Amino acid sequence: MRTPTPHPAPDAGATDALNPENLDGHTIEELSAYFDAERTPTNFSIESSPGCQIALNALGRLRELTERDLETQAAAEPAPPDGWVQSIMDRIALEAQAGRGIPISHPLPTAHLAMSEGVVRGLIRAAGDSIPEIIVGRCVLDGDVTTAGQPITITVDISVAWGENLLQAAERARNVIHRQLLKHTELNISAIHITVQDVRFARLQRAEVDQS
């Protein structure tokens, strides 16, 4: 059985990528800070030293390894218990993000009705999600929604299932969102921009499983 030495000898010799003796007069601290500054401004003395290059590569590998290692450990963590997740959801439930107030006309001049921006975004999500291959992401309402009749531009991110025609999916999303907004709001919509942010695979795989 091989037991690793918990504390290696201070002089690890020529194999030590961070051995100060190989750094052509530079220090580890200097290289470490240079690495963190993304090697700018360029230090020609460091860049032309083979020993410094080896050390900088070692720091780069350590960074990559760190990310992979954390992901591996995270994957080994048990899934959070439903109760634990629920207690977070309970704590956030009281803080709805309503956004701006969008006026709704009323025959009574003294009546002031408004629909929140959050509800309009909810309508957009529900409309887009009603198409099976689409999941709606962020929705942005540009323009002065607080003044009735002002032109509004809407930008919607969507995720589309793999295998669907992206242009047709975007067009379907635009149409259904437009219809629902005309039906439920008085917004003066000048444009609806759809951005396909994500093409996802899982749903197709599940459909294949269902068929088999």
Instruction: List binders of other proteins among 14-33 (CB under 8 A).
Output: 15-18, 27-29, 31-33
52 binds other proteins (CB under 8 A): no
| Interaction of residue 40 with other proteins, rule CB under 8 A | no
- 31 neighbors 59 (Cβ within 8 angstroms): yes
Q: Which of residues 61-80 bind other proteins (CB under 8 A)?
A: 62-63, 65-67, 69-77, 79-80
Residue 112 has φ and ψ, to the nearest 5°, of -120, 105
- Residue 147: CB minimum distance to other proteins, A: 16
> Whose CA is closest to 132, among 163, 98, 101?
163
CB of 96 to other proteins, least distance (A): 6
Residues 200 and 207 sit within 8 Å (Cβ to Cβ)? no
Interaction of residue 54 with other proteins, rule CB under 8 A: no
Residue written as tokens 């899934």? 79
Q: Which residue from 1, 6, 183, 211 is in contact with other proteins, where contact means CB under 8 A?
A: 6
SS3 176: helix
If 0-12 CB within 10 Å is exposed, 13-18 middle and 19+ buried, where does residue 40 land?
A: exposed
Total chain residues near other proteins (CB under 8 A): 82
Among 83, 111, 210, 211, binds other proteins (CB under 8 A): 111
The Cα–Cα gap between 9 and 184 comes to 74
Residue 191 beta carbon to other proteins: minimum distance, rounded to whole angstroms = 19
> Alpha carbon 97 to chain centroid distance?
19
Please state at what angle helix 117-129 crosses helix 166-184, rounded to 10 degrees: 140
Q: Is 203 in the site for other proteins (CB under 8 A)?
A: yes
59 belongs to the binding site for other proteins (CB under 8 A): yes
Q: Which is nearer to other proteins, 1 or 108 (CB)?
A: 108
Nearer to other proteins, 126 or 191 (CB): 126
Residue 200 near other proteins by CB under 8 A = yes
